[in-house]
């Protein structure tokens, strides 16, 4: 993709290895550890922390993507914007996102069509440092291949706004990936209890029970669940752990969950 605007990785070498061989090996290991549980699948909810802490949890969901036996035409990745205050949804103007495993093309036709939506802005700054979408790309390259991606950075947006945008994109050939971590900086046992409540709320489509202190991607998660409920889908937890389970301090942990949507 020489000569076209490309977003460079912001957290390669920090959240995940910047060496292609090491990165590919790590991702393959996380996916293999998730097993080979086949079944219908339309989307996943996955964490976005450094792979050392959340990679094994994400691998539980991506393992199911890998064996879903679907030829996805594209992937929509939606996650929170951590560094840029935003009301609505930000899309980038570039043609590709670079990764150590190669460039990932964006579905520019879909992105350009979305700009007519009054809640969507073109904002490369919102994507420049954002890791919530970037960390999903190596997993996607290893499971679905180099299919075009629609990256959505979601700020403070009402559930119906997020649901309407996803509804325009989510067809039978599109995998939807929702990127969110769960509780932040609670002691281990308190975090485990809160994350269990949040997991139950996700499975029950109880969007009112999911607040920003329950999930950093609460805004995108609530909109996604609203749409999945309208489409009469099901959501199933496949992993629920925290940084305290991955060798981090248990005095203050971040929660991670992986869910499959069918």
Structure tokens at 98: 């670079």
> Are 62 and 34 in contact, with CB atoms under 8 Å apart?
yes
Map tokens 């670079």 to a residue: 98
Map tokens 């993507």 to a residue: 65
Pick 72-174+199-214+227-237's CATH classification: 1.10.10.10, 3.40.50.300, 3.40.50.920, 3.40.830.10: 3.40.830.10
Question: For the packed helices 218-230 and 159-169, what is the interaxial angle rounded to 10 degrees?
Answer: 60
> Are 235 and 203 in contact, with CB atoms under 8 Å apart?
yes
> Are 116 and 123 in contact, with CB atoms under 8 Å apart?
no
CA 133 to chain centre: 6
Structure tokens at 249: 């301090």
Give the pLDDT of the chain (262 residues) as one tens digit per residue: 444 699 999 999 999 999 999 999 999 999 999 987 777 899 999 999 999 999 999 999 999 999 997 889 999 999 999 999 999 999 999 999 999 999 999 999 999 999 999 999 999 999 999 999 999 999 999 999 999 999 999 999 999 999 999 999 999 999 999 999 999 999 999 999 999 999 999 999 999 999 999 999 999 999 999 999 999 999 999 999 999 999 999 999 999 999 999 9
Q: Which of 194, 243, 234, 252 is CA-nearest to residue 218? A: 194
Per-residue model confidence as pLDDT tens digits over 26-56? 999 999 999 877 778 999 999 999 999 999 9
Judged on CB neighbours under 10 Å (0-12, 13-18, 19+), 251 is exposed
Terminal-residue alpha carbon distance, the chain: 34
Q: Quote the DSSP letter at residue 90.
A: E
CA distances from 36 to 72, 88, 99, 155 (A): 18, 37, 26, 35
pLDDT for 4: 65
Cβ neighbours of residue 226 under 8 Å, at least 6 residues apart?
A: 159, 160, 162, 163, 205, 207
Integer-rounded Cα Rg, in Å, for the chain is 17
pTM of the model: 0.96
pLDDT for 2: 43
CA distances from 153 to 4, 57, 94 (A): 21, 22, 14
**Domain segments of the chain: what residues?**
72-174+199-214+227-237
pLDDT for 39: 77
Structure tokens at 28: 């393959």
């Amino acid at each position: 993709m020489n000569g076209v605007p490309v977003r460079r990785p912001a957290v390669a070498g920090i959240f995940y290895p910047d060496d292609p061989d090491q990165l590919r090996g790590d991702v393959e290991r996380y996916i293999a550890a998730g097993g080979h549980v086949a079944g219908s699948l339309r989307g996943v909810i996955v964490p976005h922390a450094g792979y050392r802490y959340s990679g094994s949890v994400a691998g539980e969901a991506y393992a199911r993507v890998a064996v879903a036996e679907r030829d996805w035409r594209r992937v929509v990745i939606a996650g929170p914007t951590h560094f840029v205050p935003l009301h609505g949804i930000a899309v980038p103007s570039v043609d590709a996102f670079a990764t150590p495993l190669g460039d990932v093309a964006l579905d520019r036709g879909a992105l350009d069509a979305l700009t007519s939506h009054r809640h969507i802005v073109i904002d490369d700054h919102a994507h420049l440092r954002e890791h919530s979408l970037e960390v999903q790309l190596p997993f996607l390259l290893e499971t679905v291949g180099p299919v075009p991606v629609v990256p959505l950075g979601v700020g403070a947006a009402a559930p119906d706004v997020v649901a309407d945008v996803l509804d325009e994109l989510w067809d039978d050939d599109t995998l939807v990936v929702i990127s969110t971590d769960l509780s932040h900086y609670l002691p281990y046992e308190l975090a485990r209890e809160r994350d269990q409540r949040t997991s139950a709320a996700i499975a029950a489509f109880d969007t009112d029970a999911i607040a920003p202190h329950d999930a950093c991607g609460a805004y995108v998660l609530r909109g996604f669940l609203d749409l999945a409920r309208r489409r009469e889908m099901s959501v199933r937890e496949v992993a629920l752990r925290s940084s305290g389970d991955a060798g981090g301090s248990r005095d203050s942990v971040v929660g991670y969950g992986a869910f499959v949507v069918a």
